[in-house]
Amino acid sequence: MRCVGIDLGGTAIKAGAVTPAGEILARGSRATGLEKGAAHVLDTIAELARELGAQGGLGLGVPGLVDHARGRIESCPNLKVMERLPLREELARRLSFDPARIVLENDANAAAAGEHWLGTGRGERDLLLVTLGTGVGGGLILDGKLYVGRGGMAGEIGHVVVEPGGRACGCGAKGCVETLASATAAARRARELGLPRGNPGDLVELARLARASDGPERELLLAVGRDLGYALATVVSLLDVRTFVIGGGFGAATDVLAPGVLAGIRARSYGERLADVRGRPALLGADAGWIGAAAPLAR
Amino acid sequence: MRCVGIDLGGTAIKAGAVTPAGEILARGSRATGLEKGAAHVLDTIAELARELGAQGGLGLGVPGLVDHARGRIESCPNLKVMERLPLREELARRLSFDPARIVLENDANAAAAGEHWLGTGRGERDLLLVTLGTGVGGGLILDGKLYVGRGGMAGEIGHVVVEPGGRACGCGAKGCVETLASATAAARRARELGLPRGNPGDLVELARLARASDGPERELLLAVGRDLGYALATVVSLLDVRTFVIGGGFGAATDVLAPGVLAGIRARSYGERLADVRGRPALLGADAGWIGAAAPLAR
């Protein structure tokens, strides 16, 4: 059987097919082409699904709040045209599938499911996937299963406040971890310090220099990691979760962020549990989303 | 059938019997008598269980970290003599019960299960019970079930940091909500302000004055509530939980704490979810622990 997953993003649609045993069979991608309208996006998704050999079902990860009952996107800042469309029904019609076999999920949640199924989190009882990109996203695996909460919004680590009274966040609060440890925030902090020299704000080069020597670049990534750790400390306290999988573009710097992350967790959480807290890089990269979207079909 | 629950505390053992349908049949209590040693405490528990007509099973709530697999208390600051005793086996022997029918749980978790079964949280999908006493304890109901986490320590809201760099907490961190909003902390804050006049630190009188007029007592409880709300905001963000049940001795002031609690949640959490966030007083009082301990027997 081929389980097909689709990761719908603002600029690209990534997709693939995987067997229930976790063997990746094929990958595909397309430009989202938002400017051509919602019908075009729906057609493109259906086309990809057919190409990848979807059999009766499809998993779809979307960058927004999912209304699972209605099978649609409730809110989605980067894909406004897709909001409140009867997404599940439209795709079922185009593909002649049973709507019940079209499974929607928030993309960060899907990525968590993907890393748990076939990536870094394989075999873990509990984990939080943290994505460091434009914002800070999160997806929570509790007791071996994706946990999305009553309204589908659980795992929103990005808006945990770690610096009360700090920088204003888009969400309305101040000092959210997103304002301190997203890729965007880290690049801003780097630019403010003129790091790395020559090309301030270049996070790839910043991480390379931090790996190479104990200079201001390493110090900055230690500070950024610590701020992230402060947020993760609340997850340790509240949920007794001890495995953190760091993904998103800036997740590539997990090796140099990790010492700070662990220091931050240590500083703001309960002592006894810290021995086995681990921060590990995500493994699946850009595949995590579509793999996690496909995961429910494998059961 | 009679489901018997026991709430083992440092000074008193509270107990009762309840039907699977939730009808309370009887209550009982004893002094814990810790000074007489662990065997005495075990005898007293067994005696209470027999008196209450326990039939083949017993639920026991304990103020410490429970090792569910081994059926014992792993750590328990207020009942040191009970730590790492083969509690389940000792009670099963005394009562001639199958050890599998002796169910241990942390007391705050048990109280959450109690409030969810028969108290304020009845019918809620998710809730956090917060106990305001010497410390700040917590118990988490997710998706209709008690969630204790991998190590049995989930729900520890007391050690979420809300004031980075603030007052040192017993757990090793600084500025935990426990240092700001426990009954102990509230009484300390009241004493520092000389409130209420005549008997600084009297929380019952403080709450009465706060109810009566818009003076410094109401202002203090607003500030204490806000600090508690800051911690609860992380629960809203991470778990999409929107119902908070406030218990413990100081929970009696929930009516005057609630405006601050809601303001604190609002200030530090994601906007969209706030419409239906509720802070409600616990209903079962001192019965919550034993009722929740008995709850697993009713299934």
Size of interface A-B (CB pairs under 8 A): 125
Judged against a pLDDT cut of 80, whether residue B70 lies above it is answered with yes
By DSSP bridging, strand A127-132 and strand A243-247 are parallel
Q: Which residue of B has its CA nearest to A139?
A: B238
Q: What does the pLDDT look like over B206-220, one tens digit per residue?
A: 999 999 999 999 999
pLDDT score of B299: 85
Report d(CA A208, CA A204) in Å as an integer.
Answer: 6
Tell whether A83 lies on the interface with B, counting CB pairs under 8 A.
no
Judged against a pLDDT cut of 90, whether residue B275 lies above it is answered with no
CB contact under 8 A, A159 and B125: no
CB contact under 8 A, A240 and B125: no
By DSSP bridging, strand A243-247 and strand A278-281 are parallel
Q: Which residue of A has its CA nearest to B231?
A: A234
pLDDT score of B272: 58
pLDDT score of B273: 61
Distance of CA A274 to the CA centre of its chain: 24
Q: What does the pLDDT look like over A17-49, one tens digit per residue?
A: 999 999 999 999 999 999 999 999 999 999 999
Test mutation, B237, B242, B270, chain A, max A CBs within 10 A? B237
pTM for the full predicted model: 0.92
Contacts of A153 in chain B (CB under 8 A): 240, 270, 272-273
Q: Which residue of B has its CA nearest to A272?
A: B171
- Average pLDDT across chain B, whole number: 94
Distance of CA B265 to the CA centre of its chain: 20
Q: Domains in chain B, start-ordered, CATH in brackets?
A: 3-110+287-298 (3.30.420.40), 123-282 (3.30.420.40)
Report d(CA B229, CA B223) in Å as an integer.
Answer: 10
Contacts of A140 in chain B (CB under 8 A): 238
Tell whether B276 lies on the interface with A, counting CB pairs under 8 A.
no
Of A164, A171, A271, the CB nearest to B171: A271
CB contact under 8 A, A173 and B149: no
How much of chain B exceeds pLDDT 70, in percent? Answer: 98
The single residue listed with the structure tokens 């340790």 is: A236
Band (pLDDT 50/70/90 cuts) for residue A51 is very high
CB contact under 8 A, B150 and A269: no
Report d(CA A276, CA B58) in Å as an integer.
Answer: 33
CB contact under 8 A, B172 and A271: yes
A267: left (phi over 0), alpha (psi -120 to 50) or beta: alpha
> Are the beta carbons of B37 and B25 closer than 8 angstroms?
no
CB contact under 8 A, B238 and A156: yes
Q: What does the pLDDT look like over A226-249, one tens digit per residue?
A: 999 999 999 999 999 999 999 999
Report d(CA B224, CA B207) in Å as an integer.
Answer: 12
CB contact under 8 A, B173 and A273: no
Q: What does the pLDDT look like over A172-213, one tens digit per residue?
A: 899 999 999 999 999 999 999 999 999 999 999 999 999 999
Q: Which residue of B has its CA nearest to A239?
A: B154
CB contact under 8 A, B149 and A239: yes
Q: What does the pLDDT look like over B96-152, one tens digit per residue?
A: 999 999 999 999 999 999 999 999 999 999 999 999 998 999 999 999 999 999 888
Tell whether A165 lies on the interface with B, counting CB pairs under 8 A.
no
Contacts of B230 in chain A (CB under 8 A): 161, 164
**What is the full DSSP assignment across A129-179?**
EEEESSSEEEEEEETTEEE--TTS-TT-GGG-BSSTT-SB-TTS-BSBTHH
CB contact under 8 A, B270 and A160: no
- ipTM of this model? 0.90
- Average pLDDT across chain A, whole number: 94
Of A154, A163, A272, the CB nearest to B239: A154
Instruction: Phi first, then psi: give them for residue A127, nearest 5 degrees.
Output: -160, 160
Contacts of A159 in chain B (CB under 8 A): 237, 269-270
Q: Which residue of B has its CA nearest to A268?
A: B173
Report d(CA B47, CA B33) in Å as an integer.
Answer: 14
pLDDT score of A1: 86
> Are the beta carbons of B235 and B245 closer than 8 angstroms?
no
Judged against a pLDDT cut of 70, whether residue A166 lies above it is answered with yes
Q: What does the pLDDT look like over A128-138, one tens digit per residue?
A: 999 999 899 99
Contacts of A162 in chain B (CB under 8 A): 164
What is chain B's percent helix, strand, coil content, to nearest 5? 45, 25, 30
The tally of CA atoms less than 13 A away on the side-chain side of residue A114 is 38
Range A121-127 average pLDDT: 95
Q: What does the pLDDT look like over B187-207, one tens digit per residue?
A: 999 999 999 999 999 999 999
Q: Which residue of A has its CA nearest to B155?
A: A238
pLDDT score of A272: 58
How much of chain B exceeds pLDDT 90, in percent? Answer: 88
Q: At what angle do helices B38-51 and B87-95 cross, to 10 degrees?
A: 50
Tell whether B126 lies on the interface with A, counting CB pairs under 8 A.
yes
pLDDT score of B2: 94
Of A152, A235, A242, the CB nearest to B238: A235
Q: Which residue of A has its CA nearest to B263?
A: A173
Band (pLDDT 50/70/90 cuts) for residue A152 is confident
Which amino acid would we find at residue A49?
A: A
pLDDT score of B153: 86
Band (pLDDT 50/70/90 cuts) for residue B241 is very high
Give the residue from B2, B6, B84 showing the smallest Cα distance to B290. Answer: B6
Report d(CA A1, CA B193) in Å as an integer.
Answer: 70
Tell whether A164 lies on the interface with B, counting CB pairs under 8 A.
yes
Tell whether A154 lies on the interface with B, counting CB pairs under 8 A.
yes
